[in-house]
Amino acid sequence: MRGTATTRTADVVIIGGGIMGASIAYHVARRRAGRVMLLERADMFGTGSTGANAGGMRHQFSTAVNIELSRLSIAMMERFPEEMHQEVDLNFCGYLFLLDNEADMAVFRRNVALQHRLGVPTRLLNPDDIRELAPLFRLDDIVGGTFYDRDGLADPSGALQGYLAQARALGAELRTGEPVTAIRSVAGRVTGVSTSAGEIDAPVVVIAAGPWSGEVGKLAGIDLPVQPVRRQIAVTRPIPGIDRSFPFTIDFTRSLYFHYESGGILTGMSDPDQPPGFDTSVDPDWRLAHIEQAVNRLPLLETAEILTEWAGLYEVTPDDQPILGRLPQLDGLFACTGFSGHGFMQGPASGLVIAEEIVDGRAHTIDIDPLRWDRFEKHAAVAEYNVI
């Protein structure tokens, strides 16, 4: 939907049409906060990180705020078909972390204790427990791990379409093919945005542009420390004996992961030396490194055939934690970005708390103070350990 070169008005403008922007648009519209406008630079919604991610949803984090965001998001995803009239193919296959050294085991023991205090009964596993749970993996170097059976997978496209449909039904205006070219302000307060289709006057603007959020922040003269980093995924053809119960398994040291996908295995591995950038082409050298490690950990992949592969972008912050809430540099400017690989799984709750920030003046369902921008200014950032 493209506009004309006329000045338009809105009460809330959201920049970015992935899962975050769609969730915010729905939750703000649900609160009857006036005219809501969602702007996406591409010709379709969800073509950025939302469309390229692996679809995982987990409670197993090392910080309380991430655990709480995931608890709420996963509960919301359980209700999604009834409340949003959209299936999301939720599959509680569980998340299994494989750990190959005692230092990580010590950290994960502390993480599990925190998860237990917050009502998430993650299990600590010894190697024999893991062999019983995941006999297909090579485990001779594994010293232990963790597992929670209420972690799993969901369909990012289904969740996105559900939020878009319900936001539209509540009166939100959803626009594609309309990049934002400026964030306008007067005397320290947001007054609107400029786009390829003209001006939009608005007292509230939300930056939810995923890996592009740092570039969008520059339009307001703000340093949002969000960098795009390429990540690659491969999916095999169906493999006999692999079904939906196959746990989402993470070789933590290698940032290597596997999960069920359409009868086969989806696998990915993060490159620790990948420089920031917007390149989403598949790197053939990293493909070889990834597949070698994947076959070593899951030997049945040696005879599997790759059906498809692609690359997408993480939106990475210095502490691998998102930036949520109002930005102190400009009154009326908000951020919902920087999820560092766990955005989809926290999209439902994040949209809700940003709506609370806008409508109520402050998020209250979850305390998002540890994720506010000023943590970097105060040198109070606490890094998330469970990052893949």
**Residue 52 pLDDT:** 65
**Residue 47 pLDDT:** 80
Q: Is the pLDDT of residue 50 over 80?
A: no
For the chain, domain boundaries: 8-52+157-226+319-377, 91-151+227-315
For range 338-365, the mean pLDDT: 96
Residue 365 identity: T
Q: Is the pLDDT of residue 369 over 60?
A: yes
> C-alpha 225: how far from its chain's center?
16
State the fold for domain 8-52+157-226+319-377.
Answer: FAD/NAD(P)-binding domain (3.50.50)
What pLDDT digit, counting tens, does each position of 210-222 carry?
Answer: 999 999 999 999 9
Residue 268 identity: G
Q: Is the pLDDT of residue 26 over 80?
A: yes
Q: Describe the crossing of helices 102-117 and 64-84 by its angle, rounded to 10 degrees.
A: 60
Round to whole Å and give the CA distance between 273 and 368.
31
CATH number of 91-151+227-315: 3.30.9.10
What pLDDT digit, counting tens, does each position of 118-147 carry?
Answer: 999 999 999 999 999 999 999 999 999 999
**Residue 244 pLDDT:** 95
Round to whole Å and give the CA distance between 292 and 213.
34
Q: Is the pLDDT of residue 4 over 50?
A: no
Helices then strands, each counted (H, E), the chain: 10, 20
By DSSP bridging, strand 180-186 and strand 205-207 are: unpaired
Round to whole Å and give the CA distance between 107 and 88.
33
Q: Which two tokens stand for residue 339?
A: 């999820």
- In this prediction, residue 379 has a pLDDT band, given cuts at 50, 70 and 90, of confident
Q: What is the DSSP string of 70-127?
A: HHHHHHHHHHHHHHHS-----B---EEEEE-SHHHHHHHHHHHHHHHHTT--PEEE-H
- In this prediction, residue 51 has a pLDDT band, given cuts at 50, 70 and 90, of low
**Residue 60 pLDDT:** 98
By DSSP bridging, strand 264-269 and strand 256-261 are: antiparallel
- In this prediction, residue 96 has a pLDDT band, given cuts at 50, 70 and 90, of very high
Give the residue carrying structure tokens 């053939």. Answer: 284
Q: How much is the pTM?
A: 0.95
